[in-house]
Structure 1
Amino acid sequence: MRIGKMLTAAALLLGASVTPAVADSSPSASPSGDSAAPTSAGTSFRTATEIEQGQQATASASTGDYLYWSFPADAGQRPTVKATVKLPSTSRSGAQTWQLDVYDGLRRRQACQYGTQTHTAAQGASSVDLACTLRTVRAWSEPWADDPLPGTYYVRLTAVDLGAADLGLPVSTELRVDSKEIGGSAAVDGSLAQPLVPGIATTSQEEETSSESDAAVLSSLKPDDGWASGWWSDRWVWTAIGGILAALAGIGGYALTRGSGRPSRVPQGY
Structure 2
Amino acid sequence: MYVKRLLAATVAAGAVLLGLGPAATADEGRPAPSEAGTAFRTAVAVEQGQRATADASTGDYLYWQFPAGAGQQPTVKATVTLPETATRNGTATWQLDVFDGLRRRQACASGAPTQRAARDEASVTLTCTLRTVRPWAERWANDPLPGAYYVRLTVADAPDRDMGLPVHAEMQVTAEDAGGARAEGGSLGAPLHAAAVTEPEDGWNGSWWSGRWGWTLGGAVLCALAAIGGYTLTRHPRRR
Give the direction of change, closer, same or farther, for the CA distance of 1:22–1:111 in structure 2 (3 Å limit): same
Structure 1 residues 61 and 12, CA, compared in 2 at 3 Å: closer, same or farther?
same
Distance of aligned partners of 1:141 and 1:247 in 2 relative to their CA distance in 1, 3 Å threshold: farther
Which residue, 202, 207, 212 being the options, matches 1:230? Answer: 207
Question: Map of 1:87-166 to 2, 5 A cutoff?
Answer: 87-89=82-84, 90-166=86-162
Q: Percent identity?
A: 54
Partner of 1:180: 176
Cα 1:103–1:31 change in 2 (3 A) is: same
Of residues 109-118 and 238-247 in structure 1, the stretch that sits farther from structure 2 once superposed is 238-247
Matching residue of 2:27: 31
Report the equivalent of 1:22: 19
Whether 1:71 and 2:66 are equivalent positions in the alignment is yes
Shift of 1:234: 3.7
TM-score by length of structure 1 reads 0.74
Counterpart position of 2:186: 190
Q: Note if contact 1:18-1:237 (Cα within 8 Å) is conserved in structure 2.
A: no
**Counterpart residue type for residue 160 of structure 1:** A
Q: CA RMSD in A?
A: 3.1
Report if aligned partners of 2:17, 2:217 keep a CA contact under 8 Å in 1.
no
Q: What is the count of residue pairs matched by the alignment?
A: 232
What TM-score do you get using the length of structure 2 for normalisation?
Answer: 0.83
Maintained 8 Å contact 2:148/2:197: no
Compared with structure 1, are the counterparts of its residues 143 and 243 closer, same or farther at alpha carbon in structure 2 (3 Å cutoff)? Answer: farther
User: How far off is 1:249 after superposition?
Assistant: 8.4
1:240 Cα shift? 3.5
* Structure 2 unaligned blocks of 5 or more: 231-240
Q: Relative contact order, CA 8 A, sep 6+: which one is greater?
A: 2
- 59-68 vs 244-253, which moves further: 244-253
CA deviations on 1:66-98 (whole Å, 9 max, x unpaired) are: 100000011111111110111111421211100
| Residues 96-135 of structure 1: per-residue CA shift (max 9 Å, x gap) | 1000001111111111111111001111221111111111
The structure-2 alpha-carbon separation of the partners of 1:66 and 1:186, relative to structure 1 and needing over 3 Å to count, comes to farther
